[in-house]
Amino acid sequence: MTYLDFVFFELLEVMDHVGEGIFFAQHPTLQEYSERIKQLPKFSEFWADDEKCMKSPFNNVMAKLNN
């Protein structure tokens, strides 16, 4: 695992959010990859805690996408 795995994971989450779930439906291998990242020992605890992990919005309020 490198930091790029987490950068890619975040990109996948954005793509799935923007695509309203269609992205992972069309790319099940990428969904499996994302799920494996979510199951990493310490990351799974972080991901489950909504106070520590802000899952959205992805952009600042001035962005036209997801605000």
The tens digit of pLDDT for each residue in 8-31 reads 998 999 888 888 889 999 999 999
What is residue 3's predicted lDDT score, i.e. its pLDDT?
92
Listed in sequence order, the residues at least 6 apart from 3 whose beta carbon sits closer than 8 Å to its beta carbon are none
Question: Percent of the chain having pLDDT more than 90?
Answer: 49
Give the residue extent of every domain in the chain.
1-67
Q: Between 41-48 and 28-38, two packed helices, what is the crossing angle to 10 degrees?
A: 90
Asked whether the predicted pLDDT for residue 63 surpasses 80, the reply is no
Looking at residue 51, its pLDDT comes to 84
To 5 degrees, how large is the angle CA 64–CA 66–CA 67? 75
